[in-house]
A and B are shown apart, each in its own frame.
Chain A
């Protein structure tokens, strides 16, 4: 039984990578075969993540699905060790869902199809890898693997945003994104080497997160060490999570990226950042985390407000969504910084729910853009009359984003803000104001772009095709399901969160 579990976890990593490798040998002109193949693979992957989610025993908690394979022996000691707790389980499920609907929404791609799916598969392999491994080397390996394909994916298939005085080319977005993310990984890398070197005073040096967290409890890392090294992880991973003031890559990169890449990127990759802070920073260096959390919560609050204000003044539909991601990731960061079960649980749920909701946003924007070839809010108008279903899906994502009860975003935000209230009352109020601003830009967007009188040039627009509807309604279903019955997901998340927070008891 345990074997099957480990194999399932291994498959999430190696199935996409293997499929990507196989795709290299597909003939170039097999467009639809390549798409079908990718859809089947991502469908299987989604099924596997569902299996993992359902089998994970949240009552037992802790790390499950464990397996370890020796990769390099002495003197460096690197093991390919796997293992997931409640937090990673939720993230794996999120990745599976977004991947599947992302592939379905890429069906109309005609140009260089083969290369696209090869890169896409390797990207997903990297994302799954980060969530599934328990070794710093491999965590970093997969983290960088997830960054690498972004450059060609955005550069080749992306779209530029051109409003005369405001021009952001896709090449610019791609390069900015890669340099920011690798820049973040510079800090993380230094941190990893520092931790590794410090662990050598406590037996053999190791990259194993398991061993590191054990020796950390025994006091292997001095307080000063933690105080110095935690910010490396906080800012390094924070850049990927859209931490203000290092968030600017995120709107530019997401806008330039093609639909499914924006979905995966905003939906899942940004969560890698928050996950990294939790998994690496807080697990290994709890004392440093304790001391730095006030800074993180201040930055998180700025994120929430700044992202919302910036989103209000955008003309490009995708930029609105991009900045709303910055704002919502701020809520995640605030939740993490509370260090109490409410806030942390809310943060992880927000990671999940924001992933689904942003994927839905970008998916729907992609559907609209494919038909109208513009994302200019001032040009679009009255689309609801022609694309009723598409627009209603967008509206659902919007409602989830502004925290309407009954959708997953509401529960997550309530938990986070209750958590923050217990620790920092003024910031909680500011954060709630920021979250309320979401309503302003979402409703403004809906009225400007989708409702109101129909522009005659959009007379011929067709609504979403059944395949597109299938892909988006999967996301809608998850939003509503979690909103109405969060218990299955929250149980799993809380088991992970309570394990994590037990490290902070008595600090």
Chain B
């Protein structure tokens, strides 16, 4: 049972890193707090390299089949670690300026990454649930991290309440499922379900109710319509880097879990749930996109846009097949890259100005061409126009869905892309066409008169080298996936094959 326990070393190291960051923070003088960023980032880089070395080509269950080390696990582990590194590096300036307790912040981010890695590798429903809870708890804390900001506290409270509520539903669903099939491992569940489907004597409505409740619980976690109401408020209140991490990390991890659950445990009954998931997907993308049009606050806009993207991702689950899963994972990569590009650009903007409304972006293309170009490419990528990742991944996903007999859903998704383009372009319009707002015109006037204070302000009116570098890498990534996705796709293939065979 414990002979290959060493394959869990990356998770153990992540936990050690999280605690180490917390401990070092206690002894570190204030002026060396930047060191924590580098410890976290380099630590995760080290773990990334180590995991690749350790887990390359391995396909085996661990711990009596609670978790599994295979291509899928490795792919998502790498994905989350890179996401963690990007998040930590991109949040440095923001944390220094607007938040207290950097040690705890980075430590909890690492904790969330740990939870996500386990979510992607869990093949037993309770292990998956515990990992999901660890991630949710990390996010509850992160969302309310801006202690003196009432909005952040409100967001945190809403998130905790909804989170607890949905966890209860999920847990109830799990218990009903267990009551019906008597097993918790995904492969055994699949066997029991296909048995139940074959002889209708042992058919039990409890099974369907349990599966339904699990779907509802997970629906809350991924913010799928009609369980999405918490997302805009939480996104708006949370500190910007946390919003970024939440909208990308938590969704992708939840989808990794959903893929394992639906692709392995619930796969035999696909005919029963395919239409439900497809309907949910159609509703999610349509409502997310239509409501996004009316938003004034950038974070709310991105919240609704991320809801819409969850709708797109759910299509991949509805079109469960090798090509469907492949397309879904590729879509997750594209979404993560484009979304992070937009968010990191906004973090850089917020660091300079402290503003986050759409109107505030006016004239950004003249004042900070690179940041404007980065945000614009991220947004256009999310909108699905070519040259950027968004087009390629959407094309792949929609094609996959179309070939799985859900052409109507693909058509609706394409139409939704058109709607989304409108509000993304409105933001681009602010940056590129509208003039700068009044407040942006003041600085740089009287540098000499106000002396040092003014010089300090001026320094902060430029993005730091670190965030510019992160942004450059992300933009290059978005373009790379947009024009040459085949290396990424090769990696994804090993992941999707591990999942479905």
Contact surface of A with B, Cβ cutoff 8 Å: 71-73, 75-76, 112, 115, 122, 137, 140-142, 144-145, 147-148, 151-152, 155-156, 171, 175, 178-179, 182-183, 186, 189-190, 193-194, 196-197, 200, 205
Contact = CB atoms under 8 A, between A and B. Distances in A.
Interface in B244-258: none
A148 B489 contact: no
B452 to A, nearest CB: 30
A193 B402 contact: yes
B94 interface: no
Interface of B: 322-323, 326, 365-366, 369, 380, 385-387, 391, 395-396, 398-400, 402-403, 407, 410-411, 414-415, 417-418, 421-422, 425, 428-429, 432-433, 484-486, 489
A76 B415 contact: no
A309 to B, nearest CB: 31
Given A76-B396, A175-B425, A193 B410 contact: yes
> Which of A142, A151, A178 counts the most B-chain CB atoms under 10 A from its CB?
A151
Contacts of A190: 407, 410-411, 414
A75 B400 CA distance: 9
Contact of A186 (B322, B365, B417, B485): B417
Contact of A155 (B402, B411, B432): B432
Nearest to B426: A175
Given A151-B428, A178-B425, A196-B399, 6 more contacts: A145-B386, A148-B386, A152-B428, A186-B417, A193-B411, A200-B403
A186 B391 CA distance: 13
Contacts of B418: 179, 182-183, 186
A189 B485 CA distance: 20
Contacts of A112: 366
B491 to A, nearest CB: 13
Query: Main SS of chain A's interface residues?
Result: helix
A122 B388 CA distance: 13
Query: Main SS of chain B's interface residues?
Result: helix
A75 B496 CA distance: 12
B391 A178 contact: no
A297 B428 CA distance: 39
Contacts of B395: 137, 140-141, 189
A-B pairs, 3 with minimum CB distance? A193-B402, A155-B433, A190-B411
A466 B455 CA distance: 50
A152 B376 CA distance: 11
Contacts of A122: 387
Contacts of A144: 385-386, 391
Nearest to A196: B399
Contacts of A183: 418
Contact of A73 (B386, B407, B411, B486): B486
B432 A193 contact: no
Given A145-B387, A148-B386, A193-B407, A156 B402 contact: no
A194 B385 contact: no
Contacts of B323: 75-76
Given A72-B485, A141-B391, A194-B407, A152 B398 contact: no
Contact of B429 (A75, A137, A171): A171
B385 A186 contact: no
Given A179-B422, A193-B398, A156 B432 contact: yes
Contacts of B484: 71
Given A193-B407, A194-B402, A152 B432 contact: yes
20 contacts: A75-B323, A75-B326, A115-B369, A122-B387, A140-B395, A141-B395, A145-B387, A148-B387, A151-B428, A152-B432, A156-B432, A171-B429, A175-B425, A179-B418, A182-B385, A186-B415, A190-B407, A193-B402, A197-B402, A200-B403
A171 B385 contact: no
Contacts of B403: 193, 196-197, 200, 205
B200 to A, nearest CB: 33
Contacts of B326: 75
Contacts of A141: 386, 391, 395
B149 to A, nearest CB: 35
Contacts of A147: 385
A142 B396 CA distance: 16
A182 B385 CA distance: 9
A189 B398 contact: yes
Contacts of B433: 152, 155-156, 171
